Structure 1
């Protein structure tokens, strides 16, 4: 499936770099080098391989990787119900949660996708539990079903068994939780974003709360607002030290061209109490909106955007892209940072950095 091809990448306004990498479909997925330091991230033998081609947009959000089962859990984009099926509570839409098995297999034909049946409604973002084999998932809910954060304790053996972690804030239903992560430096607290997408997309009723970022503390079973002042808080991630939080604010669209497409950074302070402070603009998406976001062990910030997965260093300098035709909503690392799984709606890509 793979071929060797030369990648010519134009730096912003500067001369072109030329590199050779392994690309299975160079017309759809490529590397764009903006700063020389991106070559160090890619390594000498980087590759992009198309590992699955679905007939529906199964690869949209999540994703959560489970190393023990070599499995990747992903949620689909909104899918219109088949003719004859009606569900007014979701405006005749559904979202599928799937597991990709054998995702690291060298034999692409051995990779399989199976649909799951969780007990929560309209899944979106997922993340691994801290120090556990389970995964967390956001549930956007429906007009009739509550939204919130859910846990799947044993995704390998019992992927359909889940339980609610938090489903309301002082009696108010969340709008449509979008992404979730765990802060390793804050005793395993669970942080999540709650934009208004569910209402605007016909999944939820009118919002009861502003679009905000929340912090749930399992030790005290308490939830509080961590940050507000967003238009549509979307993805979120901590650096490895847990002392910087990045949040993507994504309201820009074809009908709202001046909406936000910004990544904000916050400092996290933990004594006394845990708060975020010093909000600042970290970066602006070069195209589309910044969606899913991750921070690698060296402090580089990765985000899915309208051009693919863009990488910035900790100073906010854009280094390069995993350029994907049509853009990327989300992506995730595998067992380590040498593997990146890129979600491209019907297509699933495996990027190897070496």
Structure 2
């Protein structure tokens, strides 16, 4: 591998900062960091106050922990945030649909209901160019989307909703017409907390799985309540499985603090669920964060 460390500090890679693992294998003096933040926020603890660690301070848009990263971004790379939450790729149209989740207005104040969000897509026009487009929200029920995936050739979104006005739900969106359909919005008459992420279970193997054999798994933490846009939770923090053709709905996993991301292994034999309960999001929770437990992953 060619050593391009000197180039990275020059004009050619001016947007990339090289921080090899050996550069922070040993940190001198007393130090600490917030377990909810990255290593680049580590700080020294001193008698006159805390201050950043110079060789760990992120000063450029891209941080490289391996020189091979240069081959990915290339010279003169620029960073622009275009989405905050999920990305759903539709193979038939060669497009990726994104959601922004909750956003602030330009003056940092929050819009009243409906809360400000973006639903957008990026489409590849040719080998070298892409087109970015902010889309009109598919319906009045499409409030605070979060996680998403594909289902039946459509974009399947986990919708957190707003208060009791707009129930948290699962919504499908046609990638061509942008017509939407609410396929689930309650657990036997009880509103969900704020559905967070979603994944589709198919039969193991390489053959396509009929819709009759597909189940939608989703997580439902109470983050909407603690972030101020949902009512007090009516349900425990659980993981559900939903079968749209029959309407069958069941709880498949519980004992979580904040079930968040969910995904199946490529062979469809293992389900991975992240629990971000280390950060309760409750402003009245005075317990310190458990720095030894920045998050857990459950396997079922």
Under TM normalisation by the shorter chain, which class is it?
A: 0.5 to 0.7
1:145 aligns with 2:166: yes
Whether contact under 8 Å (2:101, 2:117) holds in the other structure is yes
Whether contact under 8 Å (1:235, 1:247) holds in the other structure is yes
Structure 2 residue ranges without an equivalent (≥5): 1-10, 27-58, 205-212
Mapped to 2, the partners of 1:184 and 1:51 lie a distance apart of 38
Structure with higher helix content: 2
Structure 2 partner of 1:217: 243
Equivalences for residues 62-81 of structure 1 within 5 A: 62-81=86-105
RMSD over aligned Cα, in angstroms? Answer: 3.4
Q: Which structure: larger Rg?
A: 2
Per-residue Cα deviation, 1:76-100 (whole angstroms, up to 9, x for no partner): 141235789963x56xx32221112
Secondary structure of the 1:261 match is: coil
1:158 aligns with 2:177: yes
C-alpha distance 114-51 of structure 1, shift in aligned 2 (>3 A): farther
Whether contact under 8 Å (1:97, 1:115) holds in the other structure is yes
CA displacement at 1:228 relative to structure 2? 0.7
Mapped to 2, the partners of 1:47 and 1:53 lie a distance apart of 13
Mapped to 2, the partners of 1:223 and 1:145 lie a distance apart of 20
Return the TM-score normalized by structure 2: 0.67
CA displacement at 1:105 relative to structure 2? 4.9
C-alpha distance 243-51 of structure 1, shift in aligned 2 (>3 A): farther
1:123 aligns with 2:145: yes
Which of 229, 235, 239 matches 1:203? 229
Equivalences for residues 14-25 of structure 1 within 5 A: none
Secondary structure of the 1:241 match is: coil
Return the TM-score normalized by structure 1: 0.58
Structure 1 residue ranges without an equivalent (≥5): 15-25, 34-38, 268-354
C-alpha distance 201-232 of structure 1, shift in aligned 2 (>3 A): same
Secondary structure of the 2:182 match is: strand
CA displacement at 1:104 relative to structure 2? 7.8
Structure 2 partner of 1:265: 298
CA displacement at 1:9 relative to structure 2? 2.0
Secondary structure of the 2:266 match is: coil
Mapped to 1, the partners of 2:60 and 2:271 lie a distance apart of 35
1:182 aligns with 2:200: yes
Mapped to 2, the partners of 1:96 and 1:79 lie a distance apart of 8
Structure 2 partner of 1:192: 218
Per-residue Cα deviation, 1:238-297 (whole angstroms, up to 9, x for no partner): 101111111111133486522863232323xxxxxxxxxxxxxxxxxxxxxxxxxxxxxx
Mapped to 2, the partners of 1:50 and 1:66 lie a distance apart of 26
